[in-house]
């Protein structure tokens, strides 16, 4: 299971102008010159207060540092993840995990970087300029137009593991994961369904309780 590393924003928060404003953020980040030249980015956000997910994290603020992709590219891929697998109950932090995993692939392989950059450019073209800012309908059409391409396959394939195999997704979908640490479900509701008639004792004998 992958857990998002939640970085307290602290000193970063003040300098967070975001890409949307068009201003170049001047962040006091420990970035090397080489990383800057490669266009590293940062994705950040805040988990909704009081949500089950915020209880999982040490801080409601989250940040994902990208090594190869830029913030703009990361944002586009996050949006693409939401078009592919739209879940209102999943916060952006989960979609940021997708970008984190794609970025890791890009960092270890230049071909992947090119695949992702070209794909994002195609998304922008298909949505009339800026995919991330396009309407939901245009975003959906743009993603659909790329179905069957290696870029689409790479992002969609990564979604399957990045979006659905982490603590936040488990909490959002109501899946508790491993149960043996709690003694399984033998005394914790494995047969607590009450909205249908009970099977006979022949069909389903009572559990052995010693």
Partner 1 sequence: MAKIDNNDDSVVVIIGSGAGGGTLAHELCTQGVKVVVLEAGAMQSQATYINDEWKSFSQLAWLDNRTTSGTWRIARDFPNLPSWICKTVGGTTTHWAGASLRLQEHEFKTRTHYGDIKGANLLDWPVTLKELEPYYAKAENKMGVTRTNGIPGLPGNNNFKVLHAGATKLGYREVHTGNMAINSEPRDDRGRCMQLGFCFQGCKSGAKWSTLYVEIPKAEATGNLDLRPESHVSRIEHNAAGKVNAVVYFDKNGKEQRQKARVVCVAGNSIETPRLLLLSATTQFPNGLANSSGQVGRNYMRHLTGTVYAAFKDPVHMYRGTTMAGIIRDESGHDTRRGFAGGYEMETLALGVPFMAAFLNPGGWGADFSWWMDRYTHLAGMWIVGEDMPRETNRVTLNMAVKDKWGNPVPNVHFDDHDNDIAMRNHAFKQGERVYQAAGAIRTFRTPPYPSTHNLGTCRMSASARDGVCNKWGQTHDISNLFISDGSQFTTGGAENPTLTIVSLAIRQAEYITRQMTEKAI
**CB-count burial class (<10 Å; 0-12, 13-18, 19+) for 138:** middle
174 forms part of the interface with partner 1 (CB under 8 A): yes
CB of 191 to partner 1, least distance (A): 6
**Residue 74 DSSP SS3:** helix
169 forms part of the interface with partner 1 (CB under 8 A): yes
1 forms part of the interface with partner 1 (CB under 8 A): yes
72 forms part of the interface with partner 1 (CB under 8 A): no
Q: Which is nearer to partner 1, 30 or 208 (CB)?
A: 208
Structure tokens, 63:
């940040």
Q: Do residues 44 and 12 make contact, with C-beta atoms less than 8 angstroms apart?
A: yes
206 forms part of the interface with partner 1 (CB under 8 A): yes
- Other Cβ atoms less than 10 A from the Cβ of 68: the count is 24
Q: Which is nearer to partner 1, 41 or 152 (CB)?
A: 152
| Of the candidate residues 27, 45, 89, 105, the single one contacting partner 1 (CB under 8 A) | 89
Nearest to 70 by CA among 4, 8, 25, 126: 25
- Other Cβ atoms less than 10 A from the Cβ of 53: the count is 22
Chain mean position to CA 38: 23
Size of the site for partner 1 (CB under 8 A): 45
CB of 17 to partner 1, least distance (A): 32
The DSSP H or E segment spanning 71 is: helix 71-84
Q: How far is 24 from 30, CA to CA, in rounded Å?
A: 17
CB of 11 to partner 1, least distance (A): 36
Q: Do residues 40 and 67 make contact, with C-beta atoms less than 8 angstroms apart?
A: yes
Contact set for partner 1, span 181-200 (CB under 8 A) = 183-186, 188-193, 195-199
Q: Do residues 4 and 96 make contact, with C-beta atoms less than 8 angstroms apart?
A: yes
**Span interacting with partner 1, options 4-12, 22-30, 53-61, 79-87, rule CB under 8 A:** 79-87
135 forms part of the interface with partner 1 (CB under 8 A): no
Which residues make up the interface to partner 1 (CB under 8 A)? Answer: 1, 84-87, 89, 156, 159-161, 163-165, 169-170, 173-180, 183-186, 188-193, 195-199, 202-208
């Amino acid at each position: 299971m992958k857990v998002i590393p939640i970085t307290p924003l602290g000193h970063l928060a003040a300098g967070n102008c975001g890409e949307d404003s068009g201003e170049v953020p001047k962040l006091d980040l420990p970035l090397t010159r080489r990383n800057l030249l490669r266009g590293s980015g940062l994705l950040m956000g805040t988990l909704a207060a009081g949500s089950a997910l915020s209880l999982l994290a040490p801080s409601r603020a989250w940040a994902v540092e990208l090594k190869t992709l830029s913030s703009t590219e990361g944002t586009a891929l996050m949006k693409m993840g939401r078009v592919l697998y739209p879940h209102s109950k999943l916060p952006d932090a989960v979609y940021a995990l997708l970008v984190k995993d794609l970025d890791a692939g890009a960092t270890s392989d230049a071909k992947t970087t090119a695949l992702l950059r070209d794909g994002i450019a195609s998304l922008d073209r298909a949505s009339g300029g800026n995919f991330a800012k396009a309407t939901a309908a245009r975003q959906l059409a743009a993603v659909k137009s790329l179905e069957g391409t290696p870029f689409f396959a790479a992002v969609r394939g990564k979604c399957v593991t990045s979006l659905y195999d982490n603590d936040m997704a488990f909490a959002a979908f109501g899946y508790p994961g491993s149960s043996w640490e709690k003694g399984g479900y033998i005394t914790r509701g494995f047969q607590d369904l009450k909205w249908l008639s009970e099977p006979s004792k022949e069909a389903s004998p009572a559990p052995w309780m010693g």
